[in-house]
Amino acid sequence: MIRYLIPDDYMADPAVHVFNGKLYIYPSHDRESGIPENDNGDHFDMRDYHVFSMDDVEGAVTDHGVILDVDDIPWAGRQLWDCDVAFKNGRYYLYFPLKDRTDIFRIGVAIADRPEGPFTPQPAPIKGSYSIDPAILDDGDGNHYMYFGGLWGGQLQRYRNNRAIECGAEPAENEPALSARVVRLSDNMLEFAEEPRDVIILDENGVPLLAGDRSRRFFEASWMHKYNGKYYFSYSTGDTHLLCHAIGDSPYGPFTYKGVILTPVTGWTTHHAIVEFKDKWYLFHHDSVPSGGITWLRSLKVTELHYNPDGTIQTVTN
């Protein structure tokens, strides 16, 4: 089963969670902006978020409308890219990347009393935040962790050790690849409780992946889930168009590379969420088939996901 979910609009980069017995989908919202395509992603000029819910994966999809708009955010510049939502103590927290008025990506927080919003943004971004693609893990023990970062237009190459550098660039091919970041959130869910750490991905020999290993190294689109007590870090390889996964014993890693989840889709980007619902596992992602291959007009889809006996994830082929 592979199903397109929202045929009447372009939605991408899904974050998906089970709240109150329903699936809730928080995607980015593509639109035709008239901006020429480039490696900085300026053509992805999204300006709002919708939320969708489903009682069943094969059932109706309910659009709850706009839950946050660029105009609602006091520090906004442009580009509301991929977001995620977490629940704690009766409230829902929406984490979103947005360029500030100096065109630097920061990560903000908006709060709601219901999963369908609307969400009210905080007056400023999270102190010390940067780059894109926040994904939140509820570890089940009261702790929540954010995974974030993306190369090229996501600006991750402009940082080392959580500090901006003068001339951002990717490492040489024989140097360790740039890593996603992981950080534990504060109890109030509004701040970083510590300095972000590197998410290290190891090869089969226990060696960190190199920047030149483009079919396996991290590029963007972090997601974290747990299965049989293990932590599964999944991500996109960006310019080689794969979704991959790595497995570890801690939310901080390190994670050992285990294989491809999804082969390349139509359209440049690959971005996803993995969620268990009614005793089955599902992969939510997007492609550009309905738009005729236009990379910045993407459509959400879902397919069932399966694990091998050794705990690795079986590859879904497009």
90, 76, 69, 118: which is closest to 20 by C-alpha?
A: 90
Q: Which alpha helices (H) appear in 56-207, and where do they start and end? A: none
Please, what is the Cα angle at 183 between 180 and 187, to 5 degrees? Answer: 155
Q: What sign for the dihedral angle of Cα 266, 28, 87, 56?
A: negative
**Torsion-angle region of 102 (φ positive above 0: left; ψ -120 to 50: alpha; else: beta):** alpha
Lookup: tokens for 30: 């593509």
Catalytic residue set: 13, 220
Assess whether the previous peptide bond of 123 is cis (omega < 30° from 0).
no
Whose tokens are 């995974």? That residue is 147
Lookup: tokens for 15: 């974050």
Whose tokens are 């890693």? That residue is 253
Q: Exposed/middle/buried for 237, CB within 10 Å: 0-12, 13-18, 19+?
A: buried
Exposure class string for 56-90: b at 16+ Cβ within 10 A, else e: ebeeebeeeebbbebeebeebeebbbbbbbbbeee
